[in-house]
Structure 1
Amino acid sequence: MTTNTSAKSRIAALKKLLEAGLATTQEEICDELHKMNFDITQSTVSRDLRRLGAARLVNPSGETIYKLPNQLNPSKSVSVTDSVSSGLLGLIKDIKHNGYIIVIHTTPGSASLIAKHIDDVQPNGILGTIAGDDTIFVIPSAKDQAENTIQAIQAEFEKN
């Protein structure tokens, strides 16, 4: 049996697993990829999931599964503004601040995806982000700039 070592083919196989909804844990993903003759570790799976922007969500039957960004079905019942929620904006429940730190609440499993997007586009005024499962801390680059930074974040997500 030949082991497949191509990163491109591994990523393609991982995408197929995610699209099929067969990805409940990283260990399970490793097992499935081993069945496809990929010699892979959990840490490689973790890095690949992060690169793909995969989010860990709870499906209707209560199982935790990994999904690709294009598979996410944003909730239409929550939004930050009165504008039409689309794309990633629909995953954001609310944004609050205390003048120093901005807290973004998201749908479960979406915080890493939203934080990665914020880090990638780096709207003016952001030093960095820290993401949990459904909460993101955003650190503005200047004291008392939280309100302006929130507006920059909202503008970024409204255009996607």
Structure 2
Amino acid sequence: MKKKERHQLLRQLVQQETIRKQEDFVAILQDRGIEVTQATISRDIKELQLIKVPAKGGGYQYNLPPEMNYNISKKLGRLLKDAFVSIDTQKEFVLIKTLPGNAFALGTLIETAKYQEVFGCISGDDTVLVICRDEDSSNRFQRRIISFI
């Protein structure tokens, strides 16, 4: 199972099930025939920014962070206003430079927004490479990003 698919499944699980510890994720996924380690789940929890909230029967359970419910466009705009450095295109590629430490969040927001122009993203510490469907899509996407700034 690819990371993106696993992240989507983990988001669903925390909304549908009471998951109190990382081992619960591992057990549920293994019951579904998906082999995963506790270390992988630990990284996924960090990347998804899952939080622990009080559970009904006492103790705590994993949940999505409250900000996941906010408008993605507003979050994108805020992040771009705070961390944008530059943007450039080459054919179907859009390269966005940010202040250090911001590119991963930007790439995640772009993928979460599910823009039609975007095929996928690769994020580093201060750079997001957005792979668009074609050259026209990359130009439209660049204009979209600039409109946030």
TM-score by length of 2: 0.52
Matched to 1:45, the amino acid is S
Q: 1:13-92 residue pairs with structure 2 within 5 A?
A: 41-52=38-49, 87-89=78-80, 90-92=82-84
- Aligned residues: CA RMSD: 3.2
After TM superposition, the structure 1 = structure 2 runs for residues 85-100 of structure 1, keeping only pairs within 5 Å, are 87-89=78-80, 90-100=82-92
- Look up the match of 1:113: 105
- What is the one-letter code of the residue matched to 2:98? T
Name the one with the larger helix percent. 2
Residue of structure 2 equivalent to 1:125: 117
What amino acid is the match of 2:43? S
Quote the offset at 1:10 in angstroms.
5.9
> For 1:144 and 1:101, how far apart are their aligned partners in 2?
10
8 Å contact 1:92–1:107 — kept in the other structure?
yes
Gaps of 5+ in 2: 1-17, 23-36, 51-64, 68-76
Please report the TM-score for the alignment, with normalisation by the length of structure 1.
0.49
User: How many corresponding residue pairs?
Assistant: 96
Moved over 3 A (4+): none
Q: Residue 134 of structure 1 is aligned with which of 118, 122, 126?
A: 126
Give the deviation of 1:133 after TM superposition.
Answer: 1.3
Q: Which AA in structure 2 matches 1:46?
A: R
CA distance in 1 between partners of 2:48 and 2:21 (Å): 13
| 1:96 alignment partner, SS class | strand
Q: Is the 8 A contact 2:118 2:137 kept in 1?
A: no
